[in-house]
Amino acid sequence: MTNSIREIRDADCLFITGSNTAVSHPVISYEVIRAVKRGANLIIVDPRRIPLVDHATLFLQIKPGTDIYVFLAIMHTIIREGWVNDTFIAERTEGFDKFKAVVEEYPPERAALISGVPVEQIEAAARIYALGERASGTSIYDDKRGHSAILYAMGITQRSNGTDLVMTLANLAMLGGHVGKPSTGVNPLRGQSNVQGACDLGCLVNVFPGYQAVTDEAKRTTLAQAWNVPSLPGEVGLTIVEAMHAASEGKVRAVYVMGENPMMSDPNTSHVEHALRSLDLLVVQDIFPSETAFLAHIILPAAASLEKDGSFTNTERRVQLLKPVIAAPGEARPDWQITGEIAARFDHYLGIAREPGYWVFPSAEAIFKEIAAVTPIYGGMSYQRLAGAGISWPCPTPDHAGTQYLHVGKFSRGLGKFNPVQAHDPAEQPDDEYPLILSTGRVLYHYHTGTMTRRSEPLAWREPGGFVEINPADADGLQGSGGVVIESRRGSVRAEVRISDRVPPGTIFLAFHWRESPANMLTQDFALDPVAKIPEYKVCAVRLKQA
């Protein structure tokens, strides 16, 4: 997130897309509702009628996969009507003319025809967002132009054009000058606890800690010296979907899975199972057995979050200390101890001599000291400074207070770059054989692949099993049938039916928590975003059959 969670309540306009915030980020949704009650306008762009629509000023209900046309049409309208922030664009950005030329191709009439959103709604959304208009009340800010914030989540990123969609939202923010100020910005809501911290510290295939590119020779040299090794690899690695393809082809022979359940979370589950069964070695390190662990050659018991210390970094870049509350059961250990001891045994078998403690740190605090030493955005942090509320990065020096919101005065790259983006449709469209669109997501009472929450009796009582939401127009003969079979070109699953007008005609919704109705048995892994290599979870063609 460019801005903090606390700032949401003071925004003049909130633009939410690709996020069922009340379900996936309920605490943040409270801040959204506070903002609305204090007079903010709320714009929601989504195929599904999510709970926050009840509080929205405008609900732009799009056909799945057509949001890019609506975003481009909103920007077309802002430019046409003269609602752009000319001063911000002139002083702080580059590439506007090329961007403007592309946006001219996407008037609201074109977007309305493709997306189903009326022209009047697109134009109203453009005005409200660009000018930061309030529904009622008085802004706490003195600017002539109100403060508008964008919130988005995996409904935008888990797409074959996810990178283009995120760049389009960045273009929209710069167009109105809604960056580098409180209660503005482009704010991704991260889907899992500490996924932000994992990315910050190098758990991506193209960067070292602090988003230092593996292809940057100078960065590699500096880090190699800090870690006392001759050199570091400079090639971008395989993403998880690419790794599964490679495993299926025999090019990857061993996989170490830690705190992840790809047999439930990855697309095209049948292919994932074939890939994992093709391995010479599959190691799973987790707190509970999972669908992936059932295929493992070795299972390593890890400590849960309440059983260990360390730090978490949340969606607003806030680094917070974690303290153990209970003891880990049996032989379970913190992840860093397990991986450290395995690495030390590698050295032993390879005959490599290192100083004592090179791999097995004396404590989590010692690890954090190394993090601060090699990660510039964490450089000024320490356990002592993190006590209490924590600190949001970047925090480059010990006397730096942390950063509430980013890009004040200038962008990290200098000038903000407008990226011309053309609209692209989803890779798989409905047809006569598979006439419906499946979208996946979450329900409030369960989390991710259900490895933890489905072991909770109260949560299981509240939401005991898998169900698919189907619009009444698509549900002839299905209600009361005892279930339905959903088929795609990859596989089929059975689920109970819930007739609901939350989903529009032609669209069904299935959460991916359910092992008995695994949504990702249906999703496709052939069309990846060309930059991020993310599969298109949110749009795939399916058909329904009586169970």
Check whether 482 has a pLDDT greater than 80.
no
DSSP for 61-100 reads EPPTT-HHHHHHHHHHHHHHTT-S-HHHHHHHEE-HHHHH
Taking the CA atoms of 201, 207, 210 and 211 in sequence, report the sign of the dihedral they define. Answer: negative
Q: Looking at the domain assignment, is residue 411 inside a domain?
A: no
Residue 59 C-beta-side C-alpha neighbours within 13 Å = 14
Quick one: tokens of 429? 């469209």
DSSP for 198-224 reads HHHTT-BTTEETTTEETT-HHHHHHHH
Residue 401 C-beta-side C-alpha neighbours within 13 Å = 2
- Enumerate residues 6+ apart whose C-beta is below 8 A from 465: 496, 514, 516, 517
Q: Whose CA is closest to 502, among 15, 23, 16, 8?
A: 23
Count structural domains, the chain: 2
CA 32 to chain centroid, in Å, comes to 19
Tokens 């954090």 belong to 368
**pLDDT grade for 136, boundaries at 50, 70 and 90:** confident
Residues forming a β-bridge with 94: 417
The runs of H, that is alpha helices, within 387-538 are 457-462
| Residues 523, 265 contacting (CB under 8 angstroms) | no
- Provide the 3-class DSSP secondary structure of residue 108: helix
CA distances from 373 to 203, 357, 380, 401 (A): 17, 17, 9, 17
Residues forming a β-bridge with 61: 46
Range 407-433 average pLDDT? 94
Which helix (DSSP H) or strand (DSSP E) does residue 22 occupy?
A: helix 21-24
Task: Tell me the C-alpha distance between 86 and 296, whole Å.
Answer: 58
Global pTM?
0.94
Task: Tell me the C-alpha distance between 71 and 69, whole Å.
Answer: 6
Q: Looking at the domain assignment, is residue 372 inside a domain?
A: no
Residue 61 C-beta-side C-alpha neighbours within 13 Å = 12
DSSP for 289-353 reads --TTGGG-SEEEEBPPGGG--EEEE-TTSEEEEE---SPPPTT-B-HHHHHHHHHHHHHHHHT--
- Segment 334-379, tens digit of pLDDT: 999 999 999 999 998 999 888 887 888 999 999 999 999 999 999 9
> What CATH number does residue 454 fall under?
2.40.40.20
Q: Phi-psi bin for 482: left (phi > 0), alpha (psi -120 to 50), beta? A: left
Check whether 164 has a pLDDT greater than 80.
yes
Range 501-510 average pLDDT? 94
Quick one: tokens of 511? 């959460």
Q: What is the pLDDT of residue 483?
A: 87
The runs of H, that is alpha helices, within 375-469 are 383-386, 457-462
Q: Looking at the domain assignment, is residue 418 inside a domain?
A: no
| Maximal CA-CA distance, the chain | 71
Q: Looking at the domain assignment, is residue 145 inside a domain?
A: yes
- At residue 193's C-alpha, the angle toward residues 191 and 194, to 5°, is 110
Tokens 């961007």 belong to 99
Q: What is the pLDDT of residue 417?
A: 96
Residue 17 C-beta-side C-alpha neighbours within 13 Å = 27
**pLDDT > 70: what percent of the chain?**
99
- Segment 250-298, tens digit of pLDDT: 999 999 999 999 999 999 999 999 999 999 999 999 999 999 999 999 9
Written in H, E and C, the secondary structure of 178-204 is: CCCCCCCCEEECCCCCCHHHHHHCCCE
Q: Looking at the domain assignment, is residue 272 inside a domain?
A: no
Min mean pLDDT across 60-64, 363-367, 475-479 is at 475-479
Task: Tell me the C-alpha distance between 488 and 544, whole Å.
Answer: 9
Of the candidates 158, 189, 220, which is a domain's last residue?
189
Of the candidates 137, 162, 189, which is a domain's last residue?
189
- Segment 175-215, tens digit of pLDDT: 999 999 999 999 999 988 899 999 999 999 999 999 999 99
> What CATH number does residue 135 fall under?
3.40.228.10
Q: Looking at the domain assignment, is residue 477 inside a domain?
A: yes
Residues forming a β-bridge with 213: 207
**pLDDT grade for 237, boundaries at 50, 70 and 90:** very high
**pLDDT grade for 480, boundaries at 50, 70 and 90:** low
Q: What is the pLDDT of residue 344?
A: 92
Q: Could you tell me whether strands 318-322 and 391-392 are parallel, antiparallel, or unpaired per DSSP bridges?
A: antiparallel
Under DSSP, the state recorded for 418 is P
Range 454-469 average pLDDT? 92
- The helix-helix angle for 364-374 and 217-226 (nearest 10°) equals 150
Q: Give the range of the structural domain holding residue 140, as residue numbers without chain letter.
A: 5-189
Q: What is the pLDDT of residue 357?
A: 79
Q: Looking at the domain assignment, is residue 95 inside a domain?
A: yes
CA 142 to chain centroid, in Å, comes to 33
**Can you state the percent helix, strand and coil of the chain, rounding each to 5?**
35, 20, 45
Task: Tell me the C-alpha distance between 475 and 473, whole Å.
Answer: 6
| Residues 119, 109 contacting (CB under 8 angstroms) | yes
| Residues 447, 24 contacting (CB under 8 angstroms) | no
**pLDDT grade for 479, boundaries at 50, 70 and 90:** low
Of the candidates 170, 189, 208, which is a domain's last residue?
189
Q: What is the pLDDT of residue 547?
A: 76
Q: What is the pLDDT of residue 475?
A: 85
Range 152-178 average pLDDT? 95
Q: Looking at the domain assignment, is residue 65 inside a domain?
A: yes
- Provide the 3-class DSSP secondary structure of residue 129: helix
Which helix (DSSP H) or strand (DSSP E) does residue 106 occupy?
A: none
| Residues 335, 318 contacting (CB under 8 angstroms) | no
Task: Tell me the C-alpha distance between 510 and 519, whole Å.
Answer: 6
Range 145-162 average pLDDT? 94
Residue 388 C-beta-side C-alpha neighbours within 13 Å = 6
- Average pLDDT, rounded, for the chain: 94
